[in-house]
Amino acid sequence: MSLTLKAIIMGIVEGLTEFLPVSSTGHLIIAGDFLGFKGTRFHVTFEIVIQLGAILAVVFYYRKKIIHSLLNLAPGKSGFRLWSNIFVAFIPSALIGVFFNDYIETYLFSSFTVAIALVLGGILMILAENTFGRHGLNEIEKASFGQSLLIGIAQCLALFPGMSRSASTIMGGLAAGFSLRGAAEFSFFLAIPTMIGASIFSLLKGIDAMGALEWQALGVGFIVSFIVALIAIDKFLSYVSNRSLKPFAYYRIAFGIIMMFLVLGGYLR
C-alpha cells in the first residue's frame, strides 16, 4: 500500500475521531498498526500534525464566533473572557506535555496501553454523566477561572494515549457545571491552542525525517482530516444537544476489550 493511500485512511480516521470522545490518537495508533504505518520518526510526527487539519475545521466551523470574539478582546468584553478561560484551561497540559512528551511517545504509544485507556475512559465517562448530569452552563465566556482550570486539569488525562482529549475535557466540563453541549464546545475551542502547540512542537522535532514523499503524505492527510472533521463536528454537536454520551462509552469499552485480545493474540503490537 502506498504512503499516500495510508495517509488518506489515516486522515479519515483522524477526522472522524478527533472530536468524538473515543480517542483519535488511540485510533490512529491502532490504524497505523494495521496499515504498517509505524516504526519511524515520521509516523509520530504525521499522527500529531494531521490533527491541525481537524483543528482548522473547528476554526472554520466557529469562524463567526471566533471573529466576533477577536473584535471584543478588550478587558471585560465577551471575547476577552472567552480566550482568558481557554488560556487558563490550556496551561496544565501544556506544562506537563513539555516535560513528559518524550516519555509519553516512547513508552505509552502502543496498542495495549491504548486499549487500557479506552476501557478506563469509557467507565469514567459513564460515571461523569451519572454523577454530574447533562445540563448546566452553555457559554464559555460565562465560566469562572476555577471552572476553566478544572477543565484544563481534566485535559491532562488525555496525555495518556487512548484517554481522548475530547472525552477528558468534556468530563471536566460536566464536573465544572457545564451542559453536555457547552462542555463539547469548550473542548473544541480548547483544542485550538492545545493541538496547534503540540503539532508545532512535534513537527520541529521530526522535520529532519521529512522528505518530498513525506511532505506530500502529510498534506494529503491534512486535507482529508479537515473535510471529515468538519462533517463530524456538526453531527456531534447535533447529537449531544439532546442525547447521552453513554453509547460512546460503551463503544470504547467494547473496542478496548477487543484490542486487548488482539494484542494478547499477537495480532497487534
pLDDT, tens only, 113-144: 889 999 999 999 999 999 998 889 999 999 99
Mean predicted lDDT score pLDDT of the chain: 88
Rounded Cα gap, residues 130 and 220, in angstroms: 41
Rounded Cα gap, residues 106 and 97, in angstroms: 13
pLDDT in tens, 214-259: 788 888 999 999 999 999 999 999 999 888 999 999 999 999 999 8
Rounded Cα gap, residues 250 and 72, in angstroms: 41
Looking at the DSSP bridge assignments, the partners of residue 178 are 137
Segment 32-50 shows an average pLDDT of 73
| Cell 487539519 found at | 53
pLDDT in tens, 60-112: 999 999 999 999 999 989 999 999 999 999 999 888 887 877 777 677 777 88
Residue 21 phi, psi (nearest 5): -80, 50
CB 156 within 8 A of CB 167: no
Cell of 210: 521529512
CB 256 within 8 A of CB 119: yes
Domain chopping of the chain, boundaries: 3-264
Res 58: pLDDT: 93
| Cell 472567552 found at | 82
> Does the CA dihedral 156-78-179-16 come out positive or negative?
negative
CB 193 within 8 A of CB 86: yes
Q: What is the pTM of this model?
A: 0.88
Cell of 225: 482530516
Residue 48 has pLDDT above 80, yes or no: no
- Residue type at position 45: T
Segment 205-214 shows an average pLDDT of 67
